[in-house]
């Protein structure tokens, strides 16, 4: 779980706003080519902080809205106000970065769907709909690194948003067998899916809702080593040190005598950056990552797939360019730290 600050943080200078990139002033980047709605459980594991920082430092995308979604109440003693807690985590991160654009941050629902027809309305619902319906020629990506309650609720409340954006979701079981998941320590649930299976059912069933899925067997390959975090993250100024400390605190919380120690951590949410911010100039797509196109399956009540050969297609990403993602993160952290130190 992320460290939830007890009091609001005061932004530390130098200050900046979304859309500005003062650390790149020597060679200003081109305008953002895509818009993002970022939806993640920011009170949860620290990989969402790595993903958010990476997107915030990426000039190719314009972040229009950040939704802090809820966690499972029954998992690891987590708070029943995790969506609100996540807002405080994001606001603290913004303050550490000197970023003043807190108006884009909103709390999602603390509760999951009760059925497949009724939205769980929250402060996020109408904000999601407004951004989806905004007239802008650039593509809009809805990047989700947690449960899908808020997206499903926005769709149930306003189904006309379908076709206005592409959902890029980290979650769900793999579609084909993965050898390491056949090991004795394999798990029978995928956490993001388990937050709200009904919401995932709504999204998979929604006609016209474009879906890119990064299932468990793919996102689990995005791994950061302890040595990389020490030398490439922690060494990159106060922001990098904060990310490294959050990661280490999470590993301490999950220390278990029955689990062998590890010097590697999965940054699954960082896959969202590869597929949206790191699309190439010539192709307009994430050309160093790979996907297959398959009909959208149905989902059972425990999240297993039911094949539907006649369903609309979706992308299932089978490989993400981890080298590109991590090296780009390391470089952007260094550039940002150098600007902060010299300003």
Alpha-carbon gap, residue 303 to 169, rounded angstroms: 14
Averaged pLDDT for residues 245-270: 89
DSSP 36-82: EEEEE-TTS-THHHHHHHHHHT-TTEEEEEEEE----TTSTT--TTH
User: What's the pLDDT score for residue 177?
Assistant: 83
Alpha-carbon gap, residue 110 to 84, rounded angstroms: 8
Is 35 a residue whose pLDDT tops 70? Answer: yes
Averaged pLDDT for residues 259-282: 94
User: What's the pLDDT score for residue 183?
Assistant: 56
Averaged pLDDT for residues 327-337: 99
Is 186 a residue whose pLDDT tops 60? Answer: no
User: What's the pLDDT score for residue 261?
Assistant: 79
Determine the Cα angle at 282 with ends 276 and 283, to 5°: 55
User: What's the pLDDT score for residue 182?
Assistant: 64
Where is 154: in which H helix or E strand? helix 149-157
Where is 170: in which H helix or E strand? strand 166-170
User: What's the pLDDT score for residue 256?
Assistant: 79
337 — pLDDT class (breaks 50, 70, 90): very high
User: What's the pLDDT score for residue 299?
Assistant: 98
Is 17 a residue whose pLDDT tops 60? Answer: yes
β-pairing verdict for 105-107 and 61-68 = parallel
Is 165 a residue whose pLDDT tops 60? Answer: yes
Is 124 a residue whose pLDDT tops 80? Answer: yes
Phi, psi of 142 (to 5 degrees): -100, 100
User: What's the pLDDT score for residue 75?
Assistant: 58
Domain residue extents for the chain: 31-342
Question: Nearest Cα to 104, choosing from 8, 37, 52, 59?
Answer: 37
User: Looking at the whole model, is its pTM more than 0.75?
Assistant: yes
Averaged pLDDT for residues 321-337: 99
Is 259 a residue whose pLDDT tops 80? Answer: no
Q: By percentage, how much of the chain surpasses pLDDT 70?
A: 96
Which tens digit of pLDDT belongs to each residue from 217-247?
Answer: 999 999 999 999 999 999 999 999 999 999 9
Which tens digit of pLDDT belongs to each residue from 80-111?
Answer: 899 999 999 999 999 999 999 999 999 999 99
Please provide the average confidence, as pLDDT, over all residues in the chain. Answer: 94
Which tens digit of pLDDT belongs to each residue from 129-153?
Answer: 999 999 999 999 999 999 999 999 9
User: What's the pLDDT score for residue 164?
Assistant: 98
Selecting from 2.40.30.40, 3.90.245.10, 3.30.390.50, 3.30.70.20, what CATH number does the domain 31-342 have?
3.90.245.10
Alpha-carbon gap, residue 244 to 229, rounded angstroms: 6
Which residue has tokens 């010097």?
A: 263
Which tens digit of pLDDT belongs to each residue from 285-305?
Answer: 999 999 999 999 999 999 999
Q: By percentage, how much of the chain surpasses pLDDT 90?
A: 85
DSSP 88-122: HHHHHHHHHHTB--GGGEEE--SS--SSSS-----
């Amino acid at each position: 779980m992320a460290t939830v600050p007890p009091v609001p943080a005061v932004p530390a200078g130098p200050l900046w706003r979304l859309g500005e990139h003062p650390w790149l002033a020597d060679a200003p980047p081109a305008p953002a080519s895509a818009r993002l709605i970022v939806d993640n459980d920011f009170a949860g594991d620290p990989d969402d902080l790595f993903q958010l920082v990476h997107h915030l430092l990426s000039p190719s995308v314009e972040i229009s809205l950040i939704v802090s979604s809820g966690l499972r109440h029954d998992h690891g003693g987590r708070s029943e106000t995790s969506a609100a807690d996540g807002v405080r985590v994001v606001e603290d991160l913004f303050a550490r970065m000197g970023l003043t654009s807190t108006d884009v941050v909103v709390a999602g629902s603390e509760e999951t769907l009760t059925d497949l027809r009724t939205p769980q309305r929250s402060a996020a619902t109408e904000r999601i709909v407004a951004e989806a319906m905004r007239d802008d020629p650039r593509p809009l990506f809805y990047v989700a690194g947690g449960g899908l309650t808020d997206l499903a609720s926005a769709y149930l409340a306003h189904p006309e948003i379908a076709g206005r954006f592409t959902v890029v979701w980290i979650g769900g079981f793999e579609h084909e067998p993965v050898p390491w998941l056949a090991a004795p320590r394999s798990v029978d649930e995928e956490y993001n899916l388990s937050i709200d299976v009904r919401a995932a059912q709504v999204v998979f069933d929604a006609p016209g809702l474009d879906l890119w899925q990064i299932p468990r067997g793919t996102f689990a390959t995005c791994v950061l080593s302890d040595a990389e975090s020490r030398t490439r993250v922690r060494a990159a100024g106060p922001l990098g040190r904060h990310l490294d400390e959050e990661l280490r605190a999470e590993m301490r919380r999950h220390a278990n005598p029955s689990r062998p120690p590890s010097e590697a951590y999965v940054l699954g949410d960082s896959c969202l950056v590869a597929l949206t911010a790191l699309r190439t100039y010539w192709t307009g797509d994430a050309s160093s990552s790979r996907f297959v196109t398959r009909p959208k399956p149905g989902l059972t009540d425990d999240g297993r797939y039911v094949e539907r050969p006649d369903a609309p297609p979706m992308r299932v990403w089978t490989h993400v360019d981890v080298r590109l993602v991590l090296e780009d993160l390391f470089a952007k952290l260094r550039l940002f730290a150098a600007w902060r130190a010299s300003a």
